Chains A and B, each alone.
Chain A
Amino acid sequence: MNPLERYEPLVDDAAAFRAACDRPLPSVVRVNGIAASPARVREAFDEEGVAYEPVEWHDGLFRLPDGNPGGNWPYVHGWTHGQEEVSVLPGLALDPQPGERVWDACAAPGSKTTQIADAMDDDGTVVANDNNLGRLSALRHNAERLGVTNAIVTNQDARNFSTKPLAFDEFDRALVDAPCSCEGTCRKNPDVVDQWTLDHVHGVAGIQKGILARAVQATRPGGTVVYSTCTFAPEENEAVLDHVLANEDCEIVDVDLPLDTVPGVTEWDGETFDDSVTRAHRIYPHHNDTGGFFCAKLRVGGEENTEVGA
């Protein structure tokens, strides 16, 4: 079965949803503020004759209608990084600040890690973890190419991540951009639809719960955890949030995202979820002509210590 069919009851316009899922996505690059400003990248594209279009909701993103995001001088200088538009959302929701301690729990291949480092002005510590050693080499390559100097790379299972190799034992912020069924990426990788199985959904949901729970535990009271996926499956989204709300000291908080989104769902397949999952964002391809995505921001419970680095 085509898994996209099962999400039709969740969307406002099933035909538009399916049609958008069938259209390929344009190449998009994100400007790496560590190395250059959006204005300088535009000037370099103009000089070189690289076609580009602005992205209305983010001045550091450019669509490249001719593709080939790596075949130009700004890329070679580490001024740009190929990154799908929606994939900048969790970094915006996380809102990391210079000097903070930030955990990117499932970091490879590093698009979001490097976006986090950029938002921190390359100052503070971002711990980029992934359990897959092969994918870590892509992460390291990207971080170095973009001139990131404030990242530590670790190779652990995020579900029982140990802070022992680090100079501190809790984070100010954590991002869980979880491994998932990825139907939201079908516009750039149609194979994900053919490879989809319900067994995988259930298996990966268990992993997601474990990683998100660990992220909440490893973040200081009052700190921020962002959960994101590129799947439409409520089992991997709202159900994961619901599980962690019930088992860890945290709450879902409102967050503004610069795209048209719809609230998380409180019912699916006979299950009901905590009402606060409506604060999470579902991003459907036909609403903004992007990939599909899910993103929620959590506040870790307890008394906040406002001293920086405390």
Chain B
Amino acid sequence: MTDANPTNDGQRFARLPETPADREVEGRASRREVLDWWHERFGIDPSVFEGYSFWEKGAGKVWIFNGEATDPSEVEAIGMTFLRTRQEHWKPTGRAVSRFGAHARTNVIELDPAQASRFAAGEDQDLPEWDGDWGYLIATHEIAGGQAPIGVGLYLYDELRSVVPKGSRADLPVVE
């Protein structure tokens, strides 16, 4: 973009700059910061996202895309919602965690069958045994021979809050 003072336009998708030094729009996250954040928070190697591009639309909503697009793009959606930025604690989307959470190595909380069902139903639960970081965690459970991410949890004061959106909550059986 060639504007003297480019601003974030909530009506269109704009590609994230490579690095903070390339930033032209105030407050916009850079690709490097996004990759660093996933690496630092969840131990996901940046190479996992090598072929993907990242886009901002609206205030801080970052999308991940694996195709060809113009920059900027005036379309309804590009890829999938990935990360909420422009706030003190960046927040991964449940969809991003579902899609890429299997690559995570840190801040992953493995739930037992009963905990997993409560989490999927959107319930908060006491989990004082967690001795890792506070903040956003990836909640997983054992299914069909491996751990699979269920969604994003927020861990504060010995409690795991399910931040599974209302429309995605489900009453599921406890599978021992």
Q: Which of A158-175 contact B (CB under 8 A)?
A: 165-168
Given the complex of chains A and B, what is the CA–CA distance between A168 and B67 in angstroms? 11
Say how far B161's CB is from chain A's closest CB, in angstroms. 18
* Chain A minimum-CB-distance residue to B73: A165
B95 and A167 contacting across the interface, CB-CB below 8 Å: no
A112 within 8 A of partner (CB) = no
Binds B, one of A138-146, A212-220, A271-279: A138-146
B156 within 8 A of partner (CB) = no
A47 within 8 A of partner (CB) = yes
A266 within 8 A of partner (CB) = no
B76 and A136 contacting across the interface, CB-CB below 8 Å: yes
B14 within 8 A of partner (CB) = no
Contact with A along B78-107 (1 / 0, CB 8 A): 111100000000000001001100000000
A73 within 8 A of partner (CB) = yes
Given the complex of chains A and B, what is the CA–CA distance between A40 and B143 in angstroms? 9
CB < 8 Å: which of A34, A101, A148, A155 contacts B68?
A101
B1 within 8 A of partner (CB) = no
Given the complex of chains A and B, what is the CA–CA distance between A148 and B80 in angstroms? 7
Q: Is the interface on chain B under 10, 10 to 19, 20 to 34, or 35 or more residues? A: 35 or more
A126 within 8 A of partner (CB) = yes
A147 and B80 contacting across the interface, CB-CB below 8 Å: yes
B64 within 8 A of partner (CB) = yes
A150 and B143 contacting across the interface, CB-CB below 8 Å: no
Return chain A residues, CB-CB under 8 Å to B171: 71
Say how far B122's CB is from chain A's closest CB, in angstroms. 12
Binds B, one of A7-15, A117-125, A252-260, A290-298: A117-125
CB < 8 Å: which of A101, A149, A168 contacts B65?
A149
A152 and B77 contacting across the interface, CB-CB below 8 Å: yes
A149 and B79 contacting across the interface, CB-CB below 8 Å: yes
CB < 8 Å: which of B52, B68, B99 contacts A125?
B68
Given contacts A76-B170, A149-B66, A166-B69, contact A44 B76 (CB under 8 A): no
B150 within 8 A of partner (CB) = yes
CB < 8 Å: which of A35, A125, A140 contacts B67?
A125
Say how far B138's CB is from chain A's closest CB, in angstroms. 13
Given the complex of chains A and B, what is the CA–CA distance between A35 and B101 in angstroms? 11
Given contacts A76-B172, A77-B143, contact A152 B73 (CB under 8 A): yes
Return chain B residues, CB-CB under 8 Å to A145: 95, 168
B70 and A167 contacting across the interface, CB-CB below 8 Å: yes
Return chain B residues, CB-CB under 8 Å to A122: 66
Say how far A282's CB is from chain B's closest CB, in angstroms. 34
Given contacts A73-B143, A101-B68, A147-B80, contact A153 B98 (CB under 8 A): no
B70 and A76 contacting across the interface, CB-CB below 8 Å: no
B74 within 8 A of partner (CB) = yes
Return chain A residues, CB-CB under 8 Å to B150: 76-77
Q: Which of A94-110 contact B (CB under 8 A)?
A: 101
B148 within 8 A of partner (CB) = yes
B99 and A43 contacting across the interface, CB-CB below 8 Å: no
B145 within 8 A of partner (CB) = yes
B144 and A150 contacting across the interface, CB-CB below 8 Å: no
CB < 8 Å: which of B70, B74, B95, B145 contacts A43?
B145
A237 within 8 A of partner (CB) = no
* Chain B minimum-CB-distance residue to A141: B167
Given the complex of chains A and B, what is the CA–CA distance between A33 and B77 in angstroms? 22
CB < 8 Å: which of A77, A123, A152, A154 contacts B148?
A77
Given the complex of chains A and B, what is the CA–CA distance between A24 and B95 in angstroms? 33
B175 within 8 A of partner (CB) = yes
**B contact residues vs A (CB 8 Å cutoff):** 51-52, 64-70, 73-81, 95, 98-99, 120, 143-145, 148-150, 167-168, 170-173, 175
**In the complex, given contacts A49-B173, A71-B170, A152-B75, what are 17 additional A-B residue pairs having Cβ atoms less than 8 angstroms apart?**
A41-B144, A43-B144, A75-B170, A76-B168, A77-B143, A122-B66, A140-B77, A147-B95, A149-B52, A149-B99, A150-B79, A153-B78, A154-B75, A165-B70, A165-B73, A165-B74, A167-B70
A-B contact pairs, 11 of them (CB 8 A): A34-B99, A70-B170, A76-B170, A125-B68, A141-B167, A144-B95, A150-B66, A152-B67, A152-B77, A165-B75, A166-B70
- The 9 A-B residue pairs with the shortest CB-CB distance, nearest first, are A125-B67, A153-B77, A147-B99, A43-B144, A44-B144, A153-B76, A167-B68, A149-B66, A150-B67
